[in-house]
Amino acid sequence: MLYGLKQASYQWNAKLSAALIHKGFEQSKFDPSLFTTGNGASFIVILVYVDDILITSSSLTLIQDLKSFLDSEFKIKDLGSLGYFLGIEAHMNTSGLNICQRKYALDILEEPGFLNCKPVATPMVPGQRLTKENGSSLSDAAPYRRLVGRLLYLMATRPDLTYATQQLSQFVDSPTSEHMSAAHRVLCYIKGAPGQGLLYPANSSI
């Protein structure tokens, strides 16, 4: 039993990694939580986050065999088809795979009280240029930094927020009232379509 130990997460990850590598998986040099093996129709991918494991492959037989192996080694709980992982919601149908972060987006809106805000059409005022000089310094920069950090993660499924979030992230060291106002506009933009995300069409080459 590893739970409760100070190094529980590290020990669990080391044990799981060793088991997967022994099974023939290769650990990514760029993302240690990613494991792959095989090629073509036998290609299978595992993504690990602490004790949450996501498995994908074009072969259901390979997935089932891997789940059986993991269960024999660690007694896993099978949650079935992908629906929610690390704040990302996945919905698959005949048109393809749609991923979004609707719940996460609503949580971002709720914290500063923007659930009932009036939506706007763009994440930034057209032509607006943020600088360090404009506005007055915030007495507490923590809420701004937290908001920008959460927007950075929301960009995983919302590339339309990339430019605005990149602009806001330049001022996390000493944000002003103008920067916070610009961040709040992004929230108003998100309110317009909190469930917007990415669609991977079923007929795509990927």
Look-up of token digits 């023939």: 24
pLDDT digits (tens), the chain, 206 positions: 444 555 567 788 888 999 999 999 999 999 999 999 998 889 999 999 887 889 999 899 999 999 999 999 888 888 888 888 888 999 988 899 999 999 999 999 999 999 999 999 999 999 999 999 989 999 999 999 999 999 999 999 999 999 999 999 999 999 999 999 999 999 999 999 999 999 999 888 77
C-alpha distances (whole Å) from 80 to each of 41, 54, 77, 113 are 21, 10, 9, 35
Are 104 and 73 a contacting pair, CB within 8 Å? no
Its pTM surpasses 0.85: no
Q: Where are the domains of the chain?
A: 8-80, 100-192
What DSSP state is assigned to residue 188? Answer: H
